[in-house]
Every structure is written in C-alpha cells, then in structure tokens.
Amino acid sequence: MMNIADIGRKHLADQLTGAMHHLTVSEWIDPETGQPIELYWKPLTGVEQRQIDACSNQVDRIAMTVKVRARDASGRLVFADTGLTSLVNDFDFDVLRAIAYIISGDLGQDAEADQEAAEKE
C-alpha cells in the first residue's frame, strides 16, 4: 500500500500531465482567426505560489499569477518573456485581474471532462 505522501505526490503528477483547464478572453481577439483567445492553466505548485507571494503588493501578485500560470494550448507559459512591469503597465489590468481570479479559483472550463461527463449521462 502506498503511503499518504506518495499518494499526494502522484495526485499532483497526474494533474500536471492531465487536461488543462481553460478560459476564453473575449477582450483579446486573435487577428488571424477573429476569435477570442483561450488561456490554459495547470494546477498550482508550491514553486509558483512562492513566486506569487514574493511580490510586495496585490497588483504585482495578480500580475505574477497570470505570468506564472497562463499557458497556451500546448502548455507553454504565455508571458514567460514578458516582464512584470510590462504586465502591470501595458495591459488592461481589469482583464488581468479577471484572468487571475478565474485561474486562482480554478473556475475555467475543462472541455474534456465536461464532454466525458456528458457522454456518461
């Protein structure tokens, strides 16, 4: 029988390799498709939480949440090359705050899970 710590580690590993949750950002339109973009995220790790908590104020924590968690459909961090100062100054902060809220609350859509649940009904 696995011990509880091993079970917890396996849970995170399974979640990190599983389907990502996502959200549609209606304010950001892809010029090639004319459609709103989608952002994805994986479960929060302690390393990411440390990066967020290291920020000295709420504005920077919100921006850091988006920076370290928002991914594209292939799982790459969208804002890896974007500085925190740029996120704070060059983006509509209402949109960033909404993205951070949805990601932090894990409130996005999980299309595969929703589809599987519907098929079982």
User: Residue 56 pLDDT more than 70?
Assistant: yes
pTM: 0.80
Domain ranges of the chain: 20-120
- Which are the contacts of 37, defined by CB distance < 8 A and separation ≥ 6? 24, 25, 28, 29, 30
Helices (H) and strands (E) in the chain, counts: 6, 2
CATH numeric code, 20-120: 3.30.2220
**% of the chain residues with pLDDT over 70:** 88
When pLDDT is cut at 50, 70 and 90, the band that residue 96 belongs to is very high
pLDDT digits (tens, 9 = 90+) for 42-55: 988 899 999 999 99
Please give the pLDDT value at position 110.
58
